[in-house]
Structure 1
Amino acid sequence: MKLSIKTIKILFVLVCCPLALMAQKPNEQEILDTFPNKETVVYKTVDGQELDMLIFYPDEEKMTSKNPWMMHVHGGGWAGGSKYNILKKAFLGSLKSLLDNGVICVTIKYRLAKGNSNAYDAVVDAKDAARFLLKHAKRFKVDKKRYGVWGGSAGGHLSLVTALGKNADFKGDSEFKTCKPKFKCVVSYFPFTSCLNPEIRPGSIFEDGKLFVRLLGAPLDEKPELARLLSPTELLKKNSPPILLIHGDKDTVLPIVNSTYMVEVAKEKKADVELLTVKNAAHSFHGNNISPSIEELNNYATAYILSHLK
């Protein structure tokens, strides 16, 4: 059997050059190594678990004594994922651009919805992470007024609740009780937006209702008040911080109706919510010929954030 030149080249790469393949898909550590100015800090300990945050700093010449900042809340179905999700394609370009524009970026670890924890605990942790930074603003050189929150999927939902939920409804570590976060903007990618509206569930991961046990720690009908607290559309008000939703029109995990519904609610409440629809994009913006492109999405999100923080 004769092999074509093209086939021989492919076999050579597969057998003899595994490092070449690795170079095409750099791992998290390789990407992290491209950011020289960073540190990991524990912001609280709860139930014997240390929760930390990874802080990315701009180059020294772009740092001041009070820098605007963005806090990233990762996705992963509320029970998975990690703070390193910020290195994924949907966020990486914006991370780099924000740092280039003098914005400190923080990505946090939070309690996952496993065992005795649920999404409510995750929001408490996210608020506590912001409270920690506000309390230690001088140490980390963060501004006490110019900051926002962003995330995708479950992290998009948690980002919305973190910004929209009342601080009194999500009390955390008593050490931070005097700090009351007030975010300037939210960027939420392909989020879940309502526990209460059954019309957004068909065709999604919430269709059969089982996922509510993970989200709420119990079936939906047993936790009506908690369901309301974890529904961004219910928390939205006229004076809520500006929100940018970015959602693919081919998403079958959390369909775009989640975002279009939130836009409808925002119009009724006269809240500032904008939706950028990504054509041909599935969840996490997977797909061919998506429009806008990943690069364009990152640039759009960056420009939106900077317009509210700078």
Structure 2
Amino acid sequence: MNLTRHATSLWFFSFLFLVSSLTVVYAQKASDYGFIKGTNFQEDVVYKTVDGKDLVMDVFFPDADKLKAENPWMVFVHGGGWAGGHMDNIYRTAFVGTLKKLVENGVVCVSIDYRLAKAPVTSLESAIDCKDAARFLLKHAEDFKLDKENYGVWGGSAGGHLSLVTALVPDDYFPGDKELAQIHPKYKCVVSYYPFTSCLNPDLRPNSVFADSTLFKRLLGGTLEEKPELARLLSPTEFLNSDSLPVLLVHGDSDKTLPIINSQYMVEVAKEKGADVELLTVVNGGHSFSGDISPSQEEIDEYTTQFILSHLK
């Protein structure tokens, strides 16, 4: 099967990188990864259409000898500063090892695109799309050979934040496609790499990308003062409770984009509320785990995979 993506031109990549350090454009040929060649793969599956634009997902199935009538599954949400990125980010170094391990262990993995936070669209619409993707998969569980009970969500950076919002904040706040509105996913776990965790805690902003409050205008479509309710809805830490699903946070202690205090804050709140939140600290790890890190990327992949499998199986 031909999995080739049309590569973004180099000048365009450079331009977007200069526009925003958060806007990561990632173009990669899926066929470059040998393990994909032996994997059943459905590309650009349309899960909803908004304003005439199709929103799509790529679905990775285990090999035929591991594929069952019903399989556990994970939805992957890409990062890119809420205003950029692509579902092919799943092939980045921080994620592709875990993708490989999950598929090898019989887990169907789904990487989704969503509306990006570019005016007039805000991260509310981004989160709605993430929720609708899971609703769509549950509606079509038989078609994709998916277990209707054992599934979760994961992502990194902006995608880590949106993964937490998707899993922790009640669906009623995020009405999406009317045909999917009556479906309410109950995730078994969420894994979030170096996320932003709360709009409401000012202690998280210094020395991060949110030190300049203008980023909130992208996220919320206005300032914190103008959009207080939306700011709350996009603050997943504030929705933790004793019934929350298990959360694994993986964060580098040298992250200058979204500092580890974001994850540490979520852990503190979880302890107060009796929620199940674990933090794996990556020593010397920058954003995307760049640097000479400990644990290694391979060890992170293994730890993350085992966490997911323990909750899906």
**TM-score normalized by structure 2?**
0.89
Q: Which of 268, 278, 295 is matched with 2:298 structurally?
A: 295
1:11 aligned partner: none
Q: Which of 265, 278, 281 is the equivalent residue of 1:277?
A: 281
- Once the 2 structures are TM-superposed, how far is the Cα of residue 144 of structure 1 from its aligned partner? 0.6
CA–CA distance in structure 2, aligned partners of residues 246 and 31 of structure 1: 27
Distance of 1:79 and 1:242 partners within structure 2? 28
Give the alignment's Cα RMSD to 1 decimal.
1.1
CA distance in 2, matches of 1:150, 1:98: 12
Tell me how far apart the structure 2 counterparts of residues 220 and 49 of structure 1 sit (CA, whole Å): 30
Aligned match for 2:252, one of 244, 248, 251: 248
Alignment-derived partner of residue 67 in structure 1: 71
* Structure 2: gaps of 5 or more residues: 1-26
Query: 1: distance between equivalents of 2:34 and 2:224?
Result: 43
Question: 1:83: Cα distance to partner?
Answer: 0.2
Q: Does 1:307 align with 2:285?
A: no
Kindly provide the amino acid, as one letter, of the partner of residue 229 in structure 1. L
CA contact (8 A) 2:35 2:100 kept: no
Q: Distance in 2 between matches of 1:234 and 1:260?
A: 14
Give the distance between the partners of 1:221 and 1:297, measured in 2 at CA.
Answer: 38
Query: What residue number does 2:236 align with?
Result: 232
Q: Which residue of 2 aligns with 1:214?
A: 218
> 2:30 maps to what in 1?
29
Contact 1:31 1:87 in 2 (8 A): no
CA contact (8 A) 1:280 1:291 kept: yes
Equivalent position of 1:175 in the other structure: 179
The answer for the alignment partner of 1:108 in structure 2 is: 112
Q: Is the CA contact (8 Å cut-off) linking 1:150 and 1:187 kept in structure 2? A: yes
Distance 1:158 1:141 in 2: 25
Partners of 2:163 and 2:182 lie apart in 1 by 21
- Counterpart for residue 93 of structure 2: 89
Asked whether the equivalents of residues 28 and 87 of structure 1 are also in contact (C-alpha less than 8 Å), the reply is no
1:120 to 124, 143, 158: 124
Structure 1 segments, 4+ long, off by >6 Å, are: none
Distance 1:125 1:302 in 2: 25
Say which one has the larger Rg: 1
The CA deviation string for residues 6-48 of structure 1, in whole angstroms up to 9 with x for no partner, is xxxxxxxxxxxxxxxxxxxx94333356413110210000012
Q: Percent identity?
A: 62
Residue correspondence of structure 1 range 182-201 to structure 2 within 5 A:
182-201=186-205
Aligned-residue offset at 1:197: 0.3
Q: Which residue in the other structure is 1:16 paired with?
A: none
Out of 251, 260, 282, the position equivalent to 2:264 is: 260
User: For 2:276 and 2:245, how far apart are their aligned partners in 1?
Assistant: 7
CA distance in structure 1 between the partners assigned to 2:34 and 2:46 by the alignment: 20
More helix, by proportion: 1
Secondary structure of the structure 1 residue equivalent to 2:142:
helix
**Alpha-carbon distance between aligned partners in 1 of 2:118 and 2:218, rounded to the nearest angstrom:** 7
Once the two structures are TM-superposed, the CA of residue 118 in structure 1 deviates from its matched residue by 1.0
Match of 1:22 in 2: none
Match of 1:14 in 2: none
Whole-Å separation in 1 of the counterparts to 2:28 and 2:140: 32
Structure 2 counterpart SS, 1:62:
coil
Task: Please point out which of 147, 157, 161 is paired with 1:143.
Answer: 147
Aligned-partner SS, 1:90: helix
Determine the structure 2 residue equivalent to 1:18.
Answer: none
1:82 alignment partner AA = H
Whole-Å separation in 1 of the counterparts to 2:183 and 2:67: 24
Q: Displacement of 1:248 after TM fit? A: 0.2
